[in-house]
A and B are shown apart, each in its own frame.
Chain A
Amino acid sequence: MPGMWWVLVVVAVVVVLTAYLTWTAARVDRLHERAAAAGRALDAHLMRRAAAAAVLAEERYAVELYAAARIALDAEPEEREAAENDLTRQLRATDLAGEDPDPAVVAVVAASRRLALARQVHTDLVRDALSARRRPLVRLLRMSRRHDRPRYFDVDDPTLAADALRVS
């Protein structure tokens, strides 16, 4: 029966298409979840750096640094990038050199370095998620509707000069 062929072909096409769509949808979900997780890690590292900066500021009675750290900790989402850049500038203006390493300085330098890594990874993962959202099929079927659009966290590189002595 020649009619049967058409049925088989249609069934096969439907199966392949369904598998592809399911896989794509899972991929979009995975990329969004990962970008969100990286965002939470970045948030935690921002907090850590601000806390370390506050400890250092208290130790040195550095009023401006302390204020910058507090503002960064309390900033509303829309003001946060500016507040974090401000804190980076304050830290860059702080004297972190010295032969005998002060634990508070070591903590600030380490927190900044880890923040730089977290920022880098977050940027990459957000880029991956955004490029998945731009795919025509994903847009057509609105596969990303369950996820908020990932946002870049646009701040300057927080690496401190005290770290530059290390390999770079």
Chain B
Amino acid sequence: MRIGIVCPYSFDVPGGVQNHIVDLAEALIGLGHEVSVLAPADEDSPLPPYVVAAGRAVPLPYNGSVARIAFGPVSTARVRRWLARGDFDVLHVHEPLTLSLSLLAVLSARGPVVATFHTAMTRSRAMAAAQGVLQLVLERITARIAVSALARRVQVEHLDGGAVEIPNGVAVAKFADAAPLPGWPGECGVGHGGTLGFLGRFTEPRKGFAILRDAFVALAPHRPGLRLLVAGPGDRADLYHGIPAELRDRIEFLGMVSERDKARMLRSVHLYVAPNTGGESFGMILTEAMAAGATVVASELDAFRRVLDGGRAGQLFPTGDAVALRRCLAELLDDPGRRTALAAHARGAVAAFDWPAVARRVLEVYETAIEATDGGVLDQEWVEPR
């Protein structure tokens, strides 16, 4: 299949949408499809071979932050030329409601268009002023994908349409191959040692850090050498709040981490703990910890239960129960056999979230969009080369 993907944000600055597009494009190429990605970027910036630079992006204050986007007559001409040269079977745009290449591409497109909505943003301010333009853009889109349940709900409630929910994939290999941080995870024997991991906004109550903290504070005095590795945005002072002074040197705080350091951090723990009390729609971090080979201990939320294959790919504990969590942790740290068994099952389960698996689901949406434009059913061989 010839696939044209449009990225609204510049490749000169890293970001979630850009990462998503690179991973998706590479997975699709790996499955044997022809992919061209159009993105704002300087002509001379180093880009993957499948990315076509659409020229410099201008920084524009937007929705409270600065987005680097390309928009205007020159960009329009470039988009049209790229579309004409590419002769794509399907056009896949990301965040088409931002003033960006994505929007220009949708308006210039003739064939099937698939759109992915990443954020739960309803509409930009510029768009709110032009309801008619919004309708025009949405009308050109054949099939919509939302990357989270929240983004999907926005689609249904505010944009008057359904969307298929396909979450981000996990680049399993990147996590599985990362090198642990030097000196971690350390040893873990019966009754001593072991490293627990937590990643996320520890000041946000729904992330449940307080539950892990209580379990750690209760367990650490009885378990010499037990350490806690924490990464995420926030102050050290907030992190140490409620932790006795003598235990503080057993907590290592990494602050905000890059994607690469996140993988290394997840490789550096015996148990990854997700004590969330709610609000987590999917549990991306769990799949990443699973890919990194950590044994996962998570609260019994529906989403976590699904990701952990009903508890076979990780240990579930009653949501919000620090005493139960403490018991769980102590048992698992003393039982390397069970840890290995859970991690082994997790490695199998996480394959369903690996990018190639996610790309296959995106391909099905492409097929649906093409079929809905032509009114037929596609030949399987054409869709899956090789």
Binding site for B on A (CB under 8 A): 27, 31, 34, 36-41, 44-45, 48, 113-114, 117-118, 120-125, 127-128, 131-132, 164-168
Contact = CB atoms under 8 A, between A and B. Distances in A.
A31 B138 CA distance: 12
Contact of A168 (B144, B306, B369): B306
Contacts, number: 82
Given A123-B162, A124-B161, A128-B138, A167 B358 contact: yes
Interface residues of B, number: 34
29 contacts: A27-B139, A31-B139, A34-B372, A37-B373, A37-B374, A38-B375, A40-B375, A41-B368, A41-B371, A41-B376, A41-B377, A44-B371, A114-B364, A114-B367, A117-B164, A117-B364, A117-B368, A120-B164, A121-B142, A121-B368, A124-B144, A125-B142, A128-B138, A164-B306, A165-B306, A165-B352, A166-B352, A167-B357, A167-B358
A113 B306 CA distance: 19
A121 B364 contact: no
- Grouping DSSP codes into helix (H, G, I), strand (E, B) and loop, the B interface class, with mixed when no group exceeds half, is helix
Contacts of A39: 375
Nearest to B114: A121
A67 B165 CA distance: 33
Interface of B: 135, 138-139, 142-144, 160-167, 282, 306, 309, 352-353, 357-358, 361, 364-365, 367-369, 371-377
B306 A125 contact: no
B372 A122 contact: yes
- Grouping DSSP codes into helix (H, G, I), strand (E, B) and loop, the A interface class, with mixed when no group exceeds half, is helix
A120 B372 CA distance: 11
A138 to B, nearest CB: 13
A118 B376 CA distance: 11
A166 B367 CA distance: 19
A114 B164 CA distance: 11
